[in-house]
Amino acid sequence: MKLRTVGACGTVTGSCHLLEQDGFRMLLDCGAYQGEMEEENSAAFPFDAAQLDAVLLSHAHLDHCGRIPLLYARGYEGRVYSTAATLKLVKPILEDALKLMKEEAKRARRKGLPAEPPQWGEEELRRLTERGKPIPYYAPRKIGPFRVTFKNAGHLPGSAFIEVQAAGKSLVFSGDLGNRRKETLPDPDYPRVADLVLSESTYGDRPHRPFQETLVEFAEVLAETLDRGGKVIIPSFALERAQEILFYIRRFEAEGRIPVAPVFVDSPLTTRVSEIYSQIQDFFSNEVRSLYRRGIDPFAPQKLRYTRSVDESKRLNELSGAAIIIAGSGMLSGGRILHHLRHHLPQKRNALIFVGYQPRGGLGRRIISGEREVRIMGHQVAVRASVYTLGGFSGHAGRDELLDWLSAEGRVVLVHGEDEARDSLARNLRARGARVSIARLGQVFAV
């Protein structure tokens, strides 16, 4: 078995790795780059897509699935294997990505700038949907010379880490591992001892803040800002993070910890994902499933409203009084959140809460670093609102959880992390006696 790392080496986006055995070529994820590396998304693949035999998808985040349609545009004809929940969630995620690419091209043309059309479209999405093949957790599947098993990664509904066996050797691909302290999803399973583990390292250099402390601060910030009539602006990923934020707002209201105020979800994609959640209840934690059984929507605060149009979204900027606005994109790379930041950042009574990872070079990272003025949509915007970073909401395993998950493994290849995080995690693993490689793009590993 031979592994080639062709994405997410030194970054937390662009997950993509090629596995080969007896001439059979199987891809592990094919994700989009985000942040300062977005231009890489139109680059040529370092392999012939037409020669691929199968694709395994760990979960539905764009940095893991975003370039799969491009595989079909460039000659791939095979299946995409994933869990049933992932296949349901991938469709709206990719439809939204295509919509944004088309809108970006239109804006460029209006400004007289060169604009290439999207390199994939509805036809490639249709083929992906038709070729998607669900695999249940814990049910080994023969794919070419490989024996493949999906196990729960606890990162998203339906997220998986993947165990692969062939010719007496075994590999484990972590995908993205979830945070064990989360309450909406089940904890990640542990992997089998393998000949090689290809592991993410997003937070390999630091543990997460205790989750209960994060919840206490979240409730306090919400209460203080709403009590003074301010707006709470929360950039959020449409998949998992937005729903988790809604879960805790509903709980805080029920416990009397925050005033009941209008909660606006200003993201068509989040709306679509939330509609799918009730269809995939078996992929959630026992607590969430129990609420569903009692007829309670776990993700619905009392005054929850989903905006359905651009006009509704614009009217939120004229809204008086206290409110919570959750909008995408979570990494501030586009979307409606930019309009809300432009209008609400200059006002001291408001609060901006980051609940997700902000990539190096991005707008979010600049705001967090303390810049008092930032450029948004061609405008210089003063940052006067209070800014909070609640890292405990991360959907990724922290350093200590990664070390625990890898505790029995003797050989580890680190991807999906910035170099500082990978270096730190590698030092800790080596101190325990593991053989660790920090993968470079195009590097080949024998399993």
- Band (pLDDT 50/70/90 cuts) for residue 358 is confident
Judging by beta carbons within 10 Å of its beta carbon (0-12, 13-18, 19+), is residue 366 exposed, middle or buried? Answer: middle
| Contact by Cβ (8 Å): 385, 348 | yes
Does 138 have pLDDT greater than 90? yes
Average of per-residue pLDDT across 207-217: 93
- Band (pLDDT 50/70/90 cuts) for residue 382 is very high
| Contact by Cβ (8 Å): 253, 267 | no
Q: Which residues pair with 327 in a beta bridge?
A: 235, 266
Per CATH, domain 2-206+395-446 is 3.60.15.10: yes
Does 253 have pLDDT greater than 80? yes
Q: Which CATH number is 211-393 given?
A: 3.40.50.10890
- Give the per-residue pLDDT at 346: 97
- Give the per-residue pLDDT at 152: 98
Does 54 have pLDDT greater than 90? yes
- Band (pLDDT 50/70/90 cuts) for residue 39 is confident
Does 109 have pLDDT greater than 90? no
Does 24 have pLDDT greater than 90? yes
Does 391 have pLDDT greater than 90? no
pLDDT tens for each residue of 269-293: 999 999 999 999 999 999 999 999 9
- Band (pLDDT 50/70/90 cuts) for residue 308 is confident
| Residue extents of the structural domains in the chain | 2-206+395-446, 211-393
Q: Which residues pair with 381 in a beta bridge?
A: 374
Task: Kindly give, in sequence order, each residue whose CB lies less than 8 Å from that of residue 345, ignoring residues fewer than 6 positions away.
Answer: 233, 352, 374, 376, 381, 382, 383, 384, 385
- Give the per-residue pLDDT at 23: 97
The mean of the pLDDT values for the chain is 95
Average of per-residue pLDDT across 303-328: 94
Does 431 have pLDDT greater than 90? yes
Does 114 have pLDDT greater than 90? no
- Give the per-residue pLDDT at 174: 98
Question: What is the token pair recorded at 416?
Answer: 């999906």
- Give the per-residue pLDDT at 53: 98
- Give the per-residue pLDDT at 285: 97
- Give the per-residue pLDDT at 307: 95
The answer to whether 2-206+395-446 and 211-393 have equal CATH topology is no
Average of per-residue pLDDT across 62-80: 97
**What is the rounded CA–CA span in Å between residue 280 and residue 298?**
13
- Give the per-residue pLDDT at 36: 72
pLDDT tens for each residue of 147-202: 999 999 999 999 999 999 999 999 999 999 999 988 999 999 999 999 999 999 99
The three state secondary structure string of the chain is CEEEECCCCCCCCCCEEEEEECCEEEEEEECCCCHHHHHHHHCCCCCCHHHCCEEECCCCCHHHHCCHHHHHHCCCCCCEEECHHHHHHHHHHHHHHHHHHHHHHHHHHHCCCCCCCCCCCHHHHHHHHHHEEECCECCCEEECCEEEEEEECCCCCCCEEEEEEECCEEEEECCCCCCCCCCCCCCCCCCCCCCEEEECCCECCCCCCCHHHHHHHHHHHHHHHHHCCCEEEEECCCCCHHHHHHHHHHHHHHHCCCCCCCEEEECHHHHHHHHHHCCCHHHCCHHHHHHHHCCCCCCCCCCEEECCCHHHHHHHHHCCCCEEEEECCCCCCCCCHHHHHHHHCCCCCCEEEECCCCCCCCHHHHHHCCCCEEEECCEEEECCCEEEECHHHCCCCEHHHHHHHCCCCCEEEECCCCHHHHHHHHHHHHHCCCEEEECCCCEEEEC
Q: How many CA atoms lie within 13 A of 398 on its CB side?
A: 14
Does 359 have pLDDT greater than 80? no
Average of per-residue pLDDT across 104-122: 86
Average of per-residue pLDDT across 115-134: 94
Does 294 have pLDDT greater than 80? yes
Q: Are strands 435-438 and 411-414 parallel, antiparallel or unpaired?
A: parallel
